[in-house]
Amino acid sequence: MTPRPPERALRVGIVCPYSFDVPGGVQFHVRDLAEALLARGHSVSVLAPADDDTPVPPYLTAAGRAVPVRYNGAVARLTFGPLTAARVRKWLAAGEFDVLHLHEPVTPSLSMLALWIADGPVVATFHTALIRSRSLQLAYPLVRQSLEKISARIAVSEDARRTLVEHMGGDAVVIPNGVYVDAFADATADPRWTGTPEAPTIAFLGRLDEPRKGLGVLLGAVPAVLDAIPGARFLVAGRGESGPQQAAEILGDRAGAVEFLGGVSDEDKARLLTSVDAYVAPQTGGESFGIVLVEAMSAGTTVVASDLGAFSRVLDDGASGVLFATGDSADLGRRLVEVLRDDALRARVEEHARGSVRQYDWSAVTDQVTAVYEMVVAGRDAPVGEDPSSLRGARLLELRHRGNGR
């Protein structure tokens, strides 16, 4: 294999629109990318919403408290306004970045402000995948002209790329979300969560209060699994208060088969995924990729997932996992029983997954991201600076907030 030439050390500024107070998929992506770049010798600074007392890594600059709002089918914690714009401007001036990497630049938060303000090599990553998005339709006029500043666009999946093309025009290179594969492959099983042939364990991870994460679909499948395998145990990890009540309403006296673990650390997540006999991803929509599928595949666990387009692509149309009809608890129950009873089936899909999952390792993903950086930086010596036209945008923003009484 021809060795990859050494990279030029770059000063990289990364902007995350979502708060680190309650981390989610985009925040984890930003964190892991920053640490992968730092490990290669690049200088990295991340700007993201976070309260002053929220523990954040040393490379992250907290941009202040975020406000929870309904956005794209979930509750997102965003920050916006003249004070936030001033913080973005100060961070940009101090960073003297070779390249600015914005995540979700049409989300009304830090990335949108940074896009308005900055001038220079700008890379944007788009994570969202929706068939119809009122949020994008409303946000697009605010950034339509500024989108021309973007030097290169990245989409984390084909679904995210399609959303970008259909809602905003233009195109993007697809670079998937990354996973530290070995962290999951080398995790040690935990006896609390390890199943047996008579009492197999099935895991679910996700926010319990978001219906699209599909906890209700999984709970609807539990009776069929228990009828076939009475000792089966369902381990549910994630934040949210509604889970036990949902289980009691749907399962009655069989709710004891479902154990709610609450939020888990990265280390416990890896141990959980490597311990169980199957991982279930019952999401009903709004998924652009499915990082937890890749994590479960890395851990060597059979994945049973909704046949959403994004999930089907990650699972190689069922070769690296087992698909069921989205939203259909009865079909999920049938497929789970099949998986738990068929050792050869599990061995086959797990073996295929081990071969395909390496494409998602951060070593491969970072190669692709830095290639984009090098392309947009080539031929430009000046660091990212401020766009003179951003001052007009800042004044309009201030007038809008004054008009709203803020």
- C-alpha distances out from residue 43 to 168, 223, 383, Å: 31, 53, 13
pLDDT of residue 405: 47
Report the pLDDT value the prediction gives residue 406, as an integer from 0 to 100: 44
Domain assignments of the chain as residue spans, ordered by start? 11-178+361-403, 181-359
For 212-357, list the strands marked E by DSSP: 233-237, 258-262, 278-281, 302-306, 322-324
pLDDT, position 107: 83
Class of domain 11-178+361-403: alpha beta
CA separation for the pair 356, 344 (Å, rounded): 19
Confidence (pLDDT) at 345: 97
Quote the pLDDT of residue 3: 44
The answer to whether domain 11-178+361-403 and domain 181-359 are alike in fold is yes
For the chain, counts of helices (H) and of strands (E):
15, 17
pLDDT tens profile 352-385 = 999 999 999 999 999 999 999 999 999 677 788 8
pTM: 0.86
Stretches where the chain sits below pLDDT 70 are 1-7, 68-77, 130-144, 379, 390-406
- CATH architecture classification, 181-359: 3-Layer(aba) Sandwich (3.40)
What pLDDT is attached to residue 230?
A: 98
Residue 64 CB: number of other CB atoms within 10 A?
Answer: 15
